[in-house]
Chains A and B, each alone.
Chain A
Amino acid sequence: MVSTVTLIKKIIMAFVFALIGLFVQIIFMFKREWLFEKKSFTVIFIVSVALFVLSYILMLNHIGDPKVVRMLTIPLLAAIMFYIVKKIFFKLYDRNLEDTFWSMDWGQMSDGVFNAVFWFSSTVLSVLFTYFVLP
């Protein structure tokens, strides 16, 4: 019984940390203008850096499950990836990325490809980088 409760707690904690760890992607999905505005992006970036530092503080002090706590490093990587993708797209098309989620407009193909590249790299590559490359 105790082990079941512990397991449920562990799952909930993992989910909560994953939610925090993917907050940049969630903003990208629902409120992407915050990522394009300089002021709000700066706030997001500062929060990402703070979470990154917090993650290492918790890990170095052996607080919490290190595999779960490590998810707090993802936002910084995602924010950097977003910045790179945004810059490349802006250089190519001289405008910001449009939201193309479930879009039915062929004309948005270039936006769609860049969105997909960012989404995949931020949700998969950054997670793999966090767990297999970062010390």
Chain B
Amino acid sequence: MATKYANLSPYNYAFNNPVYWNDPTGADGEPPTWQQLMAAINSLLEDGGGTWTRTAWDEGANGSGRGGGGGCRGCSFFSSMANGGSYTYYSNGNGTGTLYVWTSTSTYSQARDEYQGQADLSIIDIDMNTKKASFTGFGWGAGEIDGNDPNGFEKFGTYDAIGFGADMAELYRQGQGAVQFGMPLGKAERLLADSRILKTMSANRQAFNTSVKAFKTAGKGVAVIGVVASVAEFATSDMSGGDIAKLVGAGVITATAFIPVVGPFISVGLGLLDGAGAFDGIYGYFD
């Protein structure tokens, strides 16, 4: 019996991490409350101090620790997932850092008479100074893991602390499934043993975030220059109806940039049209 279920341990109720997960009723593991999650993260931050601490991942993999800015060596994807999930925190030492959460689920397939697994990696950038977390999730199904296809984004976005707590609770829910995994794990272990995929994904994600940020900053610069020029032009004008209309137009065009999703297109479109003189007739009407 013991050999048959060698992968099970007395701490499976808490995914082999009884320090972190709760099981007060003994019936099933319960998701931690938001306060508990925040306390745990705060604890990680306090313990961190620029080094890697509090992880089940390295214990399972005989992996080595990682100091601030160093590389993760010998980390095993298999051991992490086979134990039902774990988390690793890399602190930058200034209240910010990145939390990697691995979880796995499996469902029993009657047709194939086997468990089919799903693994998720969540990369969560935490900023305890602003109480924010940026969440990126990756998911794999059994047989889908290879070095070229990380199987895409599941989610991307910025959440506030409560949203982050909800994400963590969701990850916990996913981790409640039985801890069984199939064929691809050996390959996964080879691919991920030195964190090659993890590093690539992290680098891609950072490059994407940097590009988006630079693009937005450039847009902000254009908006500010446009508004400053409009106000300067208004101040030196004779302040006729047309001049007021121009100022209002500039204000509306730049203000719409703040409206999510549709605003960017409206503001850029209107800005280009205004720059091309498409609204001169309208401004002239107020003169």
Contact = CB atoms under 8 A, between A and B. Distances in A.
Given A123-B227, A123-B231, A11 B264 contact: no
B251 A101 contact: no
B191 interface: no
Contact of B219 (A15, A19, A102, A120): A102
A18 B228 CA distance: 6
Interface in B222-248: 223-224, 227-229, 231-236, 239, 244, 247-248
A102 B236 contact: no
A4 interface: no
A30 B259 CA distance: 17
Contacts of A33: 130
Contacts of B258: 100-101, 103, 112, 115-116, 119
Interface string B202-235: 0000000000000111011001100111011111
A75 B188 CA distance: 58
Interface string B154-169: 0001101000000000
A14 interface: yes
Contact of A102 (B158, B232, B255, B263): B263
Chain B interface mostly: helix
Given A18-B231, A131-B239, A123 B251 contact: yes
B254 A123 contact: yes
B252 interface: yes
Contacts of A21: 231
B232 A119 contact: no
Contacts of B223: 29, 101
Interface stretch (A39-47, A48-56, A63-71): A63-71
Given A25-B227, A100-B260, A120 B236 contact: no
Interface in A9-34: 10-11, 14-15, 17-19, 21-22, 25-26, 29-30, 33
A128 B259 contact: no
Interface string A67-111: 110110010000000000000000000010000111111111101
Contacts of A17: 232, 235
A124 interface: yes
A25 B244 contact: no
Interface string B134-150: 00000000000000000
A54 to B, nearest CB: 16
A58 interface: no
A49 to B, nearest CB: 20
A107 B248 CA distance: 28
B98 interface: no
Given A67-B235, A102-B257, A116-B263, 19 more contacts: A10-B236, A15-B228, A18-B235, A68-B235, A101-B216, A102-B219, A103-B260, A103-B261, A104-B261, A104-B264, A106-B260, A112-B258, A119-B255, A119-B258, A120-B252, A120-B255, A123-B227, A127-B231, A131-B234
Interface of B: 130, 157-158, 160, 215-217, 219-220, 223-224, 227-229, 231-236, 239, 244, 247-248, 250-252, 254-261, 263-264
22 contacts: A11-B232, A14-B232, A14-B233, A15-B228, A17-B235, A18-B231, A22-B227, A22-B231, A29-B220, A67-B236, A71-B231, A74-B231, A100-B258, A101-B258, A102-B263, A104-B261, A108-B260, A109-B259, A116-B258, A124-B247, A124-B248, A127-B247
